[in-house]
Amino acid sequence: MYHRNICNLDESYCERCNTTTQTLEHIFCTCPIAGSIWDCIGVAVSEDHYKRPWLLEAEAQLPRQVALDVFLVILWQIWKARNALIFDHRNSTSRDVLRCVVADLGAWSCRYKTLESSLLRWQEFLLHRPSPPLYPLPWYGRMNLYWIMSINT
C-alpha cells in the first residue's frame, strides 16, 4: 500500500504480522491467514495466482466451469477479512473466511442455473475439507500457520 501512495510507511505494515509491509502478494498469498486458507484447500499460490486466478483452477480437481468464480470469492473474502481487522478490529480465522466463502457461494447459486451442481460440489469440498495437520510443516517461503478447520461447528 505504501508503494501505491495509499498510506505512509508507518501505516503500511500488515495488521496481522506487524513486520511485513502490505503488498498484494503478502495480503493474498504470504500473510498467515491467506496462507492458511490456501493450505486448507490444498492450493499452492504464488504471485502469478492472485494476479491471474484462472491459473489456480488447474490445481483443483473440481469442476472448472466455476473455479474462477470460486477463487475470486476466496480472494474477495481474504480482502474483507483484512479490512475487518483494520477498520473493525475483528480478527478472522481461516475457518471464518472459508465460512464466508461458502455463504457467498450459496447466495450466488441462483445465478448458476446450469452450473449449480458444479457450484455445489465446490461448496461441499470447502465445507468438508479435512483439517490441516496440527504439527509444524517445513518452511516453504511463507509462514505456515495451521488452524483446525472444523467448518461444521
Nearest to 31 by CA among 85, 88, 99: 85
pLDDT in tens, the chain (153 residues): 555 566 666 777 888 888 888 888 889 988 999 989 988 887 777 766 667 766 665 455 677 778 888 889 999 999 999 999 999 999 999 989 999 999 999 898 888 888 888 888 888 888 877 554 333 333 333 322 222 223 333
The reported pLDDT for the residue numbered 9 is 67
Number of neighbours of residue 74 by Cβ within 10 angstroms: 27
- Furthest C-alpha separation in the chain: 49
Look at the block and give the residue holding cell 498469498. 29
Answering whether pTM is above 0.85, one says: no
The reported pLDDT for the residue numbered 133 is 36
pLDDT tens digits, one per residue of 40-56: 887 777 766 667 766 66
For residue 6, CA distances in Å to 3, 77, 82 come to 8, 21, 15
The reported pLDDT for the residue numbered 139 is 34
Phi, psi (deg, nearest 5) at residue 149? -110, 50
